Amino acid sequence: MGLITNSPGRTRVKICGLKTPGDVDAAIASGVDALGFVFYPPSPRAVTPNIAAALISRLPAGVDAVGLVVNATDAEFEAIRAAAPITLWQFHGDESPEECQRLAAGQPWMKAARVGSAFAFDDFSLQYRQANALLLDALVEGYGGGGVPFDWSGIPQAWISANAPRVVLSGGLNVHNVGEAIARLHPCAVDVSSGVEISKGVKDHALMKEFIEAVRAADASTLT
Ligand SMILES: O=C(O)c1ccccc1NCC(=O)[C@H](O)[C@H](O)COP(=O)(O)O
Protein backbone atom coordinates (compact mmCIF):
# COMPACT_ATOMS: atom_id res chain seq x y z
CA MET A 1 0.00 0.00 0.00
CA GLY A 2 2.89 2.32 0.65
CA LEU A 3 3.12 4.94 3.36
CA ILE A 4 1.62 8.08 1.82
CA THR A 5 -1.44 6.58 0.20
CA ASN A 6 -4.31 8.52 1.68
CA SER A 7 -6.96 6.04 2.58
CA PRO A 8 -9.21 7.29 5.40
CA GLY A 9 -9.84 4.62 7.97
CA ARG A 10 -6.55 2.81 7.43
CA THR A 11 -3.61 4.39 9.22
CA ARG A 12 -0.36 3.40 7.53
CA VAL A 13 2.52 2.13 9.64
CA LYS A 14 6.24 2.79 9.17
CA ILE A 15 8.77 0.98 11.35
CA CYS A 16 12.18 2.62 11.29
CA GLY A 17 15.77 1.66 11.98
CA LEU A 18 15.86 -1.97 10.88
CA LYS A 19 19.23 -3.66 10.48
CA THR A 20 18.68 -7.41 10.09
CA PRO A 21 16.81 -9.79 7.74
CA GLY A 22 14.98 -11.33 10.70
CA ASP A 23 13.64 -7.98 11.84
CA VAL A 24 12.62 -7.05 8.30
CA ASP A 25 10.80 -10.36 7.81
CA ALA A 26 9.01 -10.00 11.16
CA ALA A 27 7.88 -6.46 10.33
CA ILE A 28 6.56 -7.59 6.95
CA ALA A 29 4.73 -10.52 8.54
CA SER A 30 3.07 -8.04 10.93
CA GLY A 31 1.61 -6.05 8.05
CA VAL A 32 3.85 -2.97 7.96
CA ASP A 33 3.39 -0.46 5.13
CA ALA A 34 6.92 0.99 5.11
CA LEU A 35 10.34 0.24 6.55
CA GLY A 36 12.83 2.99 7.34
CA PHE A 37 16.57 2.57 6.81
CA VAL A 38 18.82 5.01 8.63
CA PHE A 39 21.77 6.34 6.58
CA TYR A 40 23.11 8.51 9.40
CA PRO A 41 26.38 6.94 10.63
CA PRO A 42 26.26 8.30 14.20
CA SER A 43 23.02 6.42 14.80
CA PRO A 44 23.22 2.93 16.33
CA ARG A 45 20.49 2.05 13.80
CA ALA A 46 22.60 3.09 10.79
CA VAL A 47 23.05 0.73 7.85
CA THR A 48 25.27 1.00 4.79
CA PRO A 49 23.72 1.34 1.33
CA ASN A 50 24.71 -2.23 0.46
CA ILE A 51 23.20 -3.66 3.64
CA ALA A 52 20.05 -1.66 3.01
CA ALA A 53 19.88 -3.02 -0.54
CA ALA A 54 20.00 -6.59 0.76
CA LEU A 55 17.28 -5.86 3.33
CA ILE A 56 15.09 -4.06 0.79
CA SER A 57 15.28 -7.09 -1.53
CA ARG A 58 13.10 -8.88 1.07
CA LEU A 59 10.25 -6.35 0.80
CA PRO A 60 7.10 -7.37 -1.10
CA ALA A 61 5.61 -4.99 -3.64
CA GLY A 62 3.69 -2.20 -1.99
CA VAL A 63 5.88 -1.87 1.10
CA ASP A 64 7.85 1.37 0.89
CA ALA A 65 11.61 1.40 1.43
CA VAL A 66 12.19 4.71 3.21
CA GLY A 67 15.69 6.16 2.97
CA LEU A 68 16.42 8.38 5.97
CA VAL A 69 19.20 10.94 5.65
CA VAL A 70 20.46 13.76 7.86
CA ASN A 71 22.24 16.57 5.98
CA ALA A 72 23.80 14.08 3.57
CA THR A 73 26.25 15.39 1.01
CA ASP A 74 25.41 14.98 -2.67
CA ALA A 75 28.00 12.20 -2.92
CA GLU A 76 26.60 10.38 0.12
CA PHE A 77 23.08 10.70 -1.21
CA GLU A 78 23.99 9.46 -4.68
CA ALA A 79 25.86 6.50 -3.20
CA ILE A 80 22.68 5.51 -1.36
CA ARG A 81 20.53 5.94 -4.45
CA ALA A 82 22.98 3.93 -6.59
CA ALA A 83 22.96 0.97 -4.21
CA ALA A 84 19.55 0.86 -2.57
CA PRO A 85 16.12 0.94 -4.30
CA ILE A 86 14.59 3.59 -2.06
CA THR A 87 10.96 4.43 -2.86
CA LEU A 88 10.45 7.31 -0.39
CA TRP A 89 13.05 9.73 0.98
CA GLN A 90 12.97 11.11 4.50
CA PHE A 91 15.00 14.25 5.06
CA HIS A 92 15.55 14.44 8.82
CA GLY A 93 18.15 17.19 9.13
CA ASP A 94 18.34 20.87 8.23
CA GLU A 95 17.78 20.39 4.50
CA SER A 96 16.06 23.28 2.72
CA PRO A 97 13.01 22.64 0.54
CA GLU A 98 15.16 23.27 -2.51
CA GLU A 99 17.76 20.72 -1.40
CA CYS A 100 15.07 18.12 -0.69
CA GLN A 101 13.42 18.68 -4.06
CA ARG A 102 16.76 18.58 -5.89
CA LEU A 103 18.03 15.43 -4.18
CA ALA A 104 14.72 13.59 -4.43
CA ALA A 105 14.84 14.21 -8.19
CA GLY A 106 11.23 13.34 -8.82
CA GLN A 107 10.90 10.59 -6.21
CA PRO A 108 8.46 11.04 -3.29
CA TRP A 109 9.91 12.63 -0.17
CA MET A 110 9.02 13.56 3.39
CA LYS A 111 10.47 16.33 5.50
CA ALA A 112 10.83 15.67 9.20
CA ALA A 113 9.91 18.40 11.64
CA ARG A 114 11.66 18.29 15.01
CA VAL A 115 8.88 19.76 17.12
CA GLY A 116 9.90 21.76 20.16
CA SER A 117 7.85 24.29 22.12
CA ALA A 118 6.23 27.03 19.96
CA PHE A 119 7.00 25.15 16.74
CA ALA A 120 5.59 27.06 13.74
CA PHE A 121 3.55 24.29 12.14
CA ASP A 122 1.91 26.35 9.41
CA ASP A 123 5.15 28.09 8.44
CA PHE A 124 6.80 24.68 8.17
CA SER A 125 3.98 23.31 6.03
CA LEU A 126 4.16 26.32 3.70
CA GLN A 127 7.95 26.11 3.48
CA TYR A 128 7.86 22.40 2.59
CA ARG A 129 4.65 22.52 0.54
CA GLN A 130 6.27 20.39 -2.18
CA ALA A 131 6.84 17.50 0.23
CA ASN A 132 4.64 14.45 -0.20
CA ALA A 133 4.35 14.25 3.57
CA LEU A 134 5.46 15.96 6.76
CA LEU A 135 6.81 13.67 9.46
CA LEU A 136 6.21 15.29 12.85
CA ASP A 137 8.85 14.09 15.30
CA ALA A 138 10.07 15.21 18.70
CA LEU A 139 13.01 17.58 19.11
CA VAL A 140 15.70 15.30 20.56
CA GLU A 141 19.49 15.11 20.63
CA GLY A 142 20.93 13.26 17.65
CA TYR A 143 18.17 14.45 15.29
CA GLY A 144 15.73 11.60 15.87
CA GLY A 145 14.95 8.15 17.19
CA GLY A 146 14.69 9.50 20.71
CA GLY A 147 11.73 7.50 21.96
CA VAL A 148 9.93 10.54 23.38
CA PRO A 149 6.71 12.14 22.16
CA PHE A 150 6.24 15.84 21.53
CA ASP A 151 3.23 17.86 22.72
CA TRP A 152 0.52 16.92 20.21
CA SER A 153 -1.76 19.73 21.38
CA GLY A 154 0.25 22.23 19.32
CA ILE A 155 -0.75 20.61 16.02
CA PRO A 156 -3.18 23.03 14.29
CA GLN A 157 -6.79 21.89 14.36
CA ALA A 158 -7.01 22.49 10.61
CA TRP A 159 -4.42 19.76 10.07
CA ILE A 160 -6.56 17.35 12.03
CA SER A 161 -9.99 18.13 10.58
CA ALA A 162 -8.55 17.74 7.07
CA ASN A 163 -7.72 14.21 8.07
CA ALA A 164 -4.11 15.31 7.89
CA PRO A 165 -3.43 13.54 4.59
CA ARG A 166 0.17 14.66 4.62
CA VAL A 167 0.91 14.06 8.30
CA VAL A 168 3.04 11.15 9.50
CA LEU A 169 3.03 11.18 13.29
CA SER A 170 6.27 10.14 14.95
CA GLY A 171 8.20 10.46 18.18
CA GLY A 172 7.85 8.19 21.20
CA LEU A 173 4.92 6.15 19.87
CA ASN A 174 4.26 2.75 21.37
CA VAL A 175 1.50 0.19 21.86
CA HIS A 176 0.13 2.22 24.78
CA ASN A 177 -0.25 5.65 23.14
CA VAL A 178 -0.70 5.03 19.41
CA GLY A 179 -4.44 4.44 19.77
CA GLU A 180 -4.92 7.81 21.45
CA ALA A 181 -2.74 9.45 18.79
CA ILE A 182 -4.92 8.07 15.99
CA ALA A 183 -8.19 8.93 17.74
CA ARG A 184 -7.07 12.52 18.42
CA LEU A 185 -5.01 13.37 15.34
CA HIS A 186 -6.05 11.07 12.48
CA PRO A 187 -2.63 11.07 10.80
CA CYS A 188 -2.35 9.31 7.44
CA ALA A 189 0.47 7.28 8.97
CA VAL A 190 2.40 6.61 12.16
CA ASP A 191 6.11 5.98 12.54
CA VAL A 192 7.87 4.09 15.32
CA SER A 193 11.34 2.98 16.24
CA SER A 194 12.18 2.89 19.97
CA GLY A 195 8.68 1.75 20.95
CA VAL A 196 9.16 -1.60 19.21
CA GLU A 197 12.77 -2.25 20.21
CA ILE A 198 14.71 -4.42 22.64
CA SER A 199 17.61 -1.98 22.19
CA LYS A 200 18.42 0.67 19.58
CA GLY A 201 18.44 -1.09 16.21
CA VAL A 202 17.23 -4.43 17.61
CA LYS A 203 13.51 -4.86 17.06
CA ASP A 204 11.17 -6.80 19.33
CA HIS A 205 9.09 -8.96 16.99
CA ALA A 206 6.19 -9.29 19.42
CA LEU A 207 6.11 -5.53 20.03
CA MET A 208 6.05 -4.82 16.28
CA LYS A 209 3.05 -7.14 15.90
CA GLU A 210 1.31 -5.62 18.94
CA PHE A 211 1.94 -2.08 17.69
CA ILE A 212 0.32 -2.78 14.32
CA GLU A 213 -2.57 -4.58 16.04
CA ALA A 214 -3.06 -1.47 18.20
CA VAL A 215 -3.18 0.69 15.05
CA ARG A 216 -5.74 -1.60 13.45
CA ALA A 217 -7.84 -1.57 16.62
CA ALA A 218 -7.74 2.22 16.71
CA ASP A 219 -8.81 2.38 13.05
CA ALA A 220 -11.69 0.03 13.77
CA SER A 221 -12.91 2.07 16.75
CA THR A 222 -12.78 5.35 14.81
CA LEU A 223 -14.95 3.79 12.08
CA THR A 224 -17.71 2.78 14.53
O1 LIG B 1 16.32 6.42 14.39
C2 LIG B 1 17.39 7.04 14.47
O3 LIG B 1 18.40 6.59 15.04
C4 LIG B 1 17.51 8.40 13.84
C5 LIG B 1 18.74 9.06 13.89
C6 LIG B 1 18.87 10.32 13.31
C7 LIG B 1 17.78 10.92 12.67
C8 LIG B 1 16.55 10.26 12.60
C9 LIG B 1 16.41 9.01 13.20
N10 LIG B 1 15.18 8.36 13.17
C11 LIG B 1 14.09 8.98 12.51
C12 LIG B 1 12.80 8.24 12.53
O13 LIG B 1 12.07 8.27 11.55
C14 LIG B 1 12.34 7.64 13.82
O15 LIG B 1 11.44 6.59 13.52
C16 LIG B 1 11.61 8.73 14.60
O17 LIG B 1 12.55 9.68 15.02
C18 LIG B 1 10.84 8.17 15.78
O19 LIG B 1 11.74 7.51 16.63
P20 LIG B 1 11.19 6.94 18.07
O21 LIG B 1 10.81 8.15 18.88
O22 LIG B 1 12.35 6.18 18.62
O23 LIG B 1 10.01 6.08 17.77
Distance 32 CA to ligand 1 centre (A): 17
Residue 5 has what pLDDT? 74
Percent of the chain whose pLDDT exceeds 70: 96
Using a cut of 0.80, tell me whether the model's pTM lies above it: yes
Closest of 219, 223, 4 to residue 108, by C-alpha: 4
Of the candidate CATH numbers 3.30.70.260, 3.40.640.10, 3.30.1330.60, 3.20.20.70, the domain formed by 12-114+124-218 belongs to: 3.20.20.70
Rounded mean pLDDT, 84-112:
98
- For range 96-100, the mean pLDDT: 98
According to the model, what pLDDT value does residue 77 have? Answer: 98
CA of 219 to the centre of ligand 1 (A): 24
Q: What is the pLDDT of residue 78?
A: 97
**Separation in Å, CA 102 to CA 10, 35, 77, 123:** 31, 23, 11, 21
Nearest CA to ligand 1 atom 14: 145
More confident position, 8 or 163: 8
Q: What pLDDT score does 4 carry?
A: 84
pLDDT at 162: 56
Active site residue 33: no
Question: How would you classify residue 108: left for phi > 0, otherwise alpha for psi between -120 and 50, otherwise beta?
Answer: beta
pLDDT tens across 152-186, in order?
A: 999 998 888 655 568 999 999 999 999 999 999 99
Mean pLDDT of 13-36: 98
Question: Which residues are CB-neighbours of 10 under 8 A, at least 6 positions away?
Answer: 1, 219
Instruction: Give the residue extent of every domain in the chain.
Output: 12-114+124-218
Tell me whether residue 16 is one of the annotated catalytic residues: yes
* CB of residue 45 inside a 6 A radius of ligand 1: yes
Q: Is the pLDDT of residue 2 over 90?
A: no
Residues 102-157 pLDDT 10s: 999 999 999 999 999 989 999 999 999 999 999 999 999 999 999 999 999 999 98
